[in-house]
């Protein structure tokens, strides 16, 4: 099989196409003929060594990146009962485990969900990591009004739809060029951080979901009602005390692959309640270009890699 491999940390150029033996499924694993792969900022952060404690990751080299894919089951391990070859599936494990930037991927069955017939492969590969992050941040929070900051990116655009499904009125914030995009996604109110004085124009909310870590609990507090919740995709140990002192709930994302959450998201997506936007589809061999685009930080929705 062909796979994208890097043998040292560095810029996008370290990503190379290599020919490798097909991976074989262990007892509880599925071998997936990969059709589409979701890309995420964590993929380039691991590759470039810019994540905290990146030196610990270096022992995993050579490494095939990729946390999520959709495709067709091509073989199953001896203990697998719930899937058979030919099933269309979506799978999300972990960016640190990697492996999805390939033509074949083996992954434990507990990280896989059968695809609804209405779900195409590109959409299926685009929603797990970003969608689960948003859902797991928002789920169970009380309140009526949510602000999603950075609402045009992978996590943000799904958070917008998910928050509405959870009953919130959503104010979505992105740059002005993304205003129409946010309205198409169903935002109740749209604000542009690059043309308005956001600080003056914004109201107060029960929930502030900061998808791009532009704020902290201290700087977000003035936009939150008493006992409101500040949610961030990039948690930091120094956030806890300021949040506690201001009486705010604090949640930092540590996305987990949970089949029940994946199924919930799939239901919302196929019924049109949550929209997934695939901005670019590139062939697997162009993974370098996908990483360069991701690193610019201007992705609208998701970038997906495709196998032929
Ligand atoms: N901890 C976890 O479990 C977890 C899980 C998922 C993601 N994350 C992290 O969350 C972050 C976001 O991930 P993502 O997949 O959503 O990234 P992404 O898709 O690459 O985000 C790109 C979007 O960010 C917006 N943006 C950039 N700078 C902004 C700013 N200053 N204010 C408002 N919007 C801004 C851009 O909109 P404009 O062009 O309109 O500015 C663009 O649409 C990443 O750092 C990622 O590593 C963490």
Q: How far is the CA of 155 from the centre of ligand 1 (A)?
A: 7
* Ligand 1: residue whose CA is nearest its atom 34: 150
Residues 148-191 pLDDT 10s: 999 999 999 999 999 999 999 999 999 999 999 999 999 999 99
- For the stretch 191-236, pLDDT in tens is 999 986 777 777 899 999 999 999 999 999 999 999 999 999 999 9
- Residue 237 has a CB neighbour count (10 Å cut-off) of 7
What's the DSSP call for residue 115?
P
* CB contact at 8 A, 265 and 135: yes
β-pair partners for 192: 174
79-114 burial, b for 16+ CB within 10 Å, e for fewer? ebeebeeebbbbbbbbbebbbbbbbbbbbbbebbbe
Q: Taking Cα atoms as reference points, which of 161, 97, 90, 148 lies closest to residue 124?
A: 90
Residues of the chain with pLDDT under 70: 196
Ligand 1 geometric centre to CA of 152 (Å): 8
Ligand 1 in reach of 130 Cβ (< 6 A): yes
Q: What are phi and psi of 240, to 5 degrees?
A: -65, -45
Q: Is the dihedral of CA 208, 125, 107, 112 positive or negative?
A: positive
Ligand 1 and 132: CB distance under 6 A: no
| Residue nearest atom 20 of ligand 1, based on CA coordinates | 297
CB of residue 253 inside a 6 A radius of ligand 1: yes
Which letter does DSSP use for residue 127 in this model? S
Per the listing, tokens 């490494």 go with: 63
Ligand 1: residue of 179, 185, 297 to mutate (most ligand atoms within 8 A of CB) is 297
d(CA 78, CA 185): 43
Residue 196's pLDDT is 64
Among 217, 14, 165, CA closest to 101 = 14
Q: Which domains does the chain have, with CATH numbers?
A: 2-127+276-306 (3.90.180.10), 130-252 (3.40.50.720)
Cis before 62? omega within 30? yes
Give the global pTM.
0.97
pLDDT of residue 188: 97
Which atom in ligand 1 lies closest to the alpha carbon of residue 149? 33
d(C-alpha 204, C-alpha 224), whole Å: 5
CA atoms within 13 A on the CB side of 26: 4
212 in contact with ligand 1, CB cutoff 6 A: yes
**Which pLDDT belongs to residue 58?**
83
Residue located nearest, by CA, to atom 46 of ligand 1: 41
Token pair in block for residue 288: 């370098």
How far separated are the first and last CA of the chain, in Å rounded? 12
Closest atom of ligand 1 relative to the 211 alpha carbon? 12
């Amino acid at each position: 099989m062909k796979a994208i491999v890097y043998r040292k940390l560095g810029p996008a150029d370290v990503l190379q196409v290599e020919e490798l033996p097909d991976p074989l499924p262990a007892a509880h694993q599925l071998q997936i003929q990969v059709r589409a792969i979701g890309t995420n900022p964590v993929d380039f952060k691991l590759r470039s060594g810019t994540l905290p404690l990146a030196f610990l990751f270096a022992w995993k080299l050579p490494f095939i990146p990729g946390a999520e894919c959709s495709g067709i089951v091509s073989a199953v391990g001896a203990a697998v009962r719930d899937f058979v070859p030919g099933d269309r599936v979506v799978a999300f494990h972990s960016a640190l485990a990697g492996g999805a930037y390939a033509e074949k991927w083996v992954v434990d069955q507990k990280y896989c969900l059968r695809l609804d017939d209405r779900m195409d492969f590109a959409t299926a590969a685009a929603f797990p990591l970003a969608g689960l992050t948003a859902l797991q941040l928002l789920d169970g929070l009380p309140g009526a009004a949510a602000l999603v900051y950075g609402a045009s990116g992978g996590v943000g655009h799904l958070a917008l739809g998910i928050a509405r499904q959870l009953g919130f009125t959503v104010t979505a914030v992105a740059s002005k060029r993304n205003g129409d995009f946010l309205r198409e996604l169903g935002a109740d109110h749209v604000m542009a951080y690059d043309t308005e004085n956001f600080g003056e124009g914004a109201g107060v909310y029960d929930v502030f979901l900061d998808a791009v870590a532009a704020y902290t609990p201290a700087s977000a507090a003035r936009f939150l009602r008493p006992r409101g919740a500040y949610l961030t995709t990039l948690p930091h140990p120094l956030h806890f005390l300021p949040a506690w002192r201001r009486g705010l709930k604090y949640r930092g994302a540590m996305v987990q692959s949970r089949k029940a959450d994946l199924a919930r998201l799939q239901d919302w997506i196929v019924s049109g309640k949550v929209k997934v936007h695939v901005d670019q589809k590139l062939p697997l061999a162009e993974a370098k270009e996908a990483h360069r685009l991701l690193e610019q930080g201007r992705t609208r929705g998701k970038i997906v890699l495709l196998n032929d």
